[in-house]
Amino acid sequence: MDNVKKYFGIVFLLLGIALAFYLPYNAINRLGSSTATSEDYIFWIVIITIFIPIIAGFILFGYYAFKGEYRESN
Q: Confirm or reject binding of residue 28 to other proteins (CB under 8 A).
A: no
CA distances from 65 to 13, 23, 45, 73 (A): 9, 23, 30, 13
Nearest to 61 by CA among 20, 8, 22: 8
Task: Among 10, 18, 22, 69, indicate the residue that binds other proteins (CB under 8 A).
Answer: 69
Quick check: 11 and 62 in contact, CB under 8 A? yes
Nearer to other proteins, 31 or 70 (CB): 70
Residues forming contacts to other proteins in the complex (CB under 8 A) are 1, 4-5, 8, 12, 38-39, 42-43, 46-47, 49-51, 54, 57-58, 60-61, 64-65, 69-70, 72
